[in-house]
Structure 1
Amino acid sequence: MLKQRSGLILALIVFTLFLLWFVSIRQSLLFVVGIGLGLVLAGLRFGFTTGWRNLIEQRDASGAYAQLLLLAIAAAISLPLLAAFPGELSAALGAPGISLLVGALVFGAAMQIADGCGSGTLYKAGLGIPLNMAILPVFALGSFLGSAHLGWWLDLGAMQPVSLLDSAGLGGALALTFGGLAVVAGLCFWWSKGATTPRPAFSKGLLLGAVLLAVLAVLNLVIAGQPWGIVYSFGLWGAKIAQATSLFDPTVNAFWSQSSNATALQQSVFLDVTTITSLGILAGALLVFAGKKNDSQPKLNATQWIVGIVAGFLLGYSSRLAFGCNVGAMVSGISTGSLHGWIWVALAFIGSLAGVRIRKYYGY
């Protein structure tokens, strides 16, 4: 195990130096941040999906409390930074509308069935979990198709993105964000009081993970100039493959003909900030997994494989419609003052209520 891990560390150092020398200092730093994200997610098993499922099924709020702490710390740092450097840093804004409503609902259900959101799929694939490894490519396919169809969904009805910073100022944005988090914490406390088996309210490992993820998310914002995201990288990979095989013409597509997206398609994938952090998450999870035997996963039957892979495809498609997953929409959206992040959480949780029941039905 030590030999395998040493070899992997050497490979990651070489790749980081490659990015530093041939791409940019920024990309090499973001790759290191991504490795840190992967180490925390995989090493501490910080699962957004699992936290919600434990709250629903067992009335165990420890995972939800950790996520609220993550949001609180990230918002407390990110919102003042965005207010101080509006030209250099951007928020994760999404347009409330039919696209967001449908996407968040479907994503909430699909992530429970597939046992992972965007970050969960990445780090569990890095841990060698077979279902998540199979889901990763169909997640990318779904994300690409979702981006290709996004214009049609937006035409069904959408508002302009709403920034709490722009609407209420820094003080108002902080007050609204922390007030919202306090309300959610109160609801979690009320729900957890009905547990038949008393459980610890807090998990030291998850709380540590929340603090570390918040710090790394802020570092991503400062280094990249934009919040931590995952879904865009998946869609970009799918779009590049489709374009290379002449199956897709981005110049006639509403999403991929936009200047920033068209540029991303033409440039090396190593210049995309979301790709670099996503690769870093995979690398960090691989470091945790290196040399270990992953024999704890139950064997899946054919029906479970099919249902899981379909759910993975829907994860990709719906996350693009919803302007992100638990990371891009919830963590980055809420922590940078986007109204759509709050709408996403409410609808994704409703979707998760259905997803947990479907997951039970198929015996996962």
Structure 2
Amino acid sequence: MTWQQFKQAYLIRFWAPMPAVIAAGILSTYYFGLTGTFWAVTGEFTRWGGHLLQFLGANPESWGYFKVIGLEGSPLDRVDGMMIIGMFGGCIAAALWANNVKLRMPQSRIRIAQALIGGIIAGFGARLAMGCNLAAFFTGIPQFSLHAWFFALATAAGSYFGARFTLLPMFRIPVTLKKSVKPPQSSRTKIRLDGVFVSECWCLSVLSVGVY
């Protein structure tokens, strides 16, 4: 397989969902066996927010919440910290290799407000639940945890009603059609990485823990 074939098959095209999810579950089991901890990200994101508050002069290590999840050391000293750094590095490397990095702002301010509010709510929800979907789906279910299955059912129901809720007219933005003067692009599948803006919202949600 040439580099262009590998790039097209694994970096540009979408992976098949079922094999990818099964592989992620298997890898999370090995991750638990090798590190002794579960695969999760929001807890470490919250610790990063705590370190930022320490840099600004606050003392979050004395708060009850950080006494529960711990704030010792730095991201380089913790397994979760190194894992997240590796995840960011791998995602950025794959996106750069596939030439799919594009920074852009939403055309409507409504989308910006929705992303900020949604990110803050998601951050609070994950921290109040002491975990996110990664900890439940890719750690709890492969390890046969009963609470993870309850979480999966609740997530399915919440996603359904949440999707219906966001389709209400109050959340819709005006759409105008414009005539394109550019020549049609090739049929090659391209993936836009809008997750950069979502990551910014997650950073705000992490900082919101300090307010909580």
CA offset digits 1:87-122 (Å, max 9, x no partner)? xxxxxxxxxxxxxxxxxxxxxxxxxxxxxxxxxxxx
Does 2:64 correspond to 1:257? no
Q: TM-score, normalised by structure 2?
A: 0.65
Out of 127, 137, 145, the residue aligned to residue 338 of structure 1 is 145
CA offset digits 1:44-89 (Å, max 9, x no partner)? 756xxxxxxxxxxxxxxxxxxxxxxxxxxxxxxxxxxxxxxxxxxx
Q: Which residue of 2 aligns with 1:225?
A: 36
CA offset digits 1:283-304 (Å, max 9, x no partner)? 1211221051456989430011
**Which aligned pairs between 1:16-31 and structure 2 lie closer than 5 A?**
none
8 Å Cα contact 2:24-2:138 kept in structure 1: no
- Runs of 4+ in structure 1 over 4 Å off: 42-46, 293-298
C-alpha distance in structure 1 between counterparts of 2:81 and 2:141, whole Å: 22
Residue identity matched to 1:330: F
Relative distance call for 1:281 and 1:338 in structure 2 (3 A) is same
Structure 2: where are the runs of 5+ without partners?
A: 4-9, 174-212
Does 2:122 correspond to 1:325? no
8 Å Cα contact 2:137-2:148 kept in structure 1: yes
C-alpha distance in structure 1 between counterparts of 2:153 and 2:26, whole Å: 25
Q: Which residue of 1 aligns with 2:188?
A: none
Does 2:91 correspond to 1:276? no
Structure 1: where are the runs of 5+ without partners?
A: 3-39, 47-204
Does 2:110 correspond to 1:303? yes
Q: Quote the RMSD (CA, aligned, Å).
A: 2.9
C-alpha distance in structure 2 between counterparts of 1:289 and 1:312, whole Å: 23
Does 2:91 correspond to 1:285? yes
Relative distance call for 1:320 and 1:296 in structure 2 (3 A) is closer
8 Å Cα contact 2:25-2:142 kept in structure 1: no
Q: TM-score, normalised by structure 1?
A: 0.40
Report the alpha carbon displacement of residue 43 of structure 1 after superposing the two structures with TM. Answer: 6.4
Relative distance call for 1:284 and 1:220 in structure 2 (3 A) is same
Paired residues in the alignment total 162
Q: Which has the higher helix share?
A: 1
Does 2:56 correspond to 1:245? yes
Q: What secondary structure sits across from 1:328 in the alignment? A: helix
C-alpha distance in structure 1 between counterparts of 2:36 and 2:72, whole Å: 21
Report the alpha carbon displacement of residue 221 of structure 1 after superposing the two structures with TM. Answer: 0.9
Q: Give the fraction of aligned pairs with identical amino acids, expressed as a percent.
A: 19
8 Å Cα contact 2:29-2:142 kept in structure 1: no
